Structure 1
């Protein structure tokens, strides 16, 4: 069996101290393998977004060990000095709202992510066009976000998340702003990406209509994993 792309061992996160301390995550273990799409479920305040932000190296754990793509990046402390570079190299983020820059075209929104990673302009534009074609919105490359449908804008946002070919994709409520048809289309795209690029994809969601598209689910309650499968 392939090694997990995401592995958490005893991860915990506490905000504050003493009587005011909030234990957002408690001794969490998790493994996600190449080609898997895993749903993170649970009520509001259960720790789902905190878990996603820990895996994305945005929030520092209080304790535990975090391995990403075979590399131990946290073990009682960060073992990487440049977390921004780590995120650029390994992780793609997709959010509930597409957050596209309104003054840039669809193609430019994707190319700017490549530019931040140091990809030269001509190559960035070529790769941006290829990604948009792959996600079947290449014909909208010259269009501003305000002229895109909700489904088109979300596919452009997915293209931007994939720009640097990450093995790990973190999606926070990616279908919440879409109707059921477009939500299904976005999830089908994510499943295709997981398989074709052997990526690990974690999706925080309350959208019951997409539960059947997950390879497995992890349910959190009060900062603890209460079920997985």
Structure 2
């Protein structure tokens, strides 16, 4: 299985996807089918990706423009936006099953933000508002642990009185026994068969487990052991 899971698609001071072009070039070849359903403007979103990948010589087809595009894709890229809108669209169309089948058969998968959330067993650790209601929270299950893209560390100087990202993940673990990897901006996960590594900027990630203190994960760390865990969820949705 070939996965590239980006925390974010735009880095400060960089163009869309510019910070990840080198690693994208390693995963993508001649063409990719882009899944734009996390945003409302599917044509505009697809064109943005087409422009960003042009330096790599990658041809981009929107999944919404061709009926069998995903079934015939050489690679699949699922973009960011609202995770619930993305999941609902893919579940109702049946394309969630198509993507899962194709990726497990060897088709490379690239996700960014919401597309990265989708790679886990569920979308329960997304940062997004449920602007629509999907039939369930079940996602692709391409990795057996949860991911929290755009992870933000607690700011001790902040006057904000709402929950920190750390607190929200802790609450998730009170109800579900499955690790959560909070990946900071500019980082990504790369899976090649049974190997999983953290790449991107040195800021790294934070790993949360039930009953343990959060652990820092440095860039370049081998996280393959996370591919062997068994997730246990509260099933009452």
**Do the structures match in fold with TM over 0.5?**
no
- Structure 1 or 2, whichever has the larger Rg, is 1
**What's the TM-score, normalizing by structure 2?**
0.33
Structure with greater contact order relative to length (CA < 8 Å, sep ≥ 6): 1
**What's the TM-score, normalizing by structure 1?**
0.33
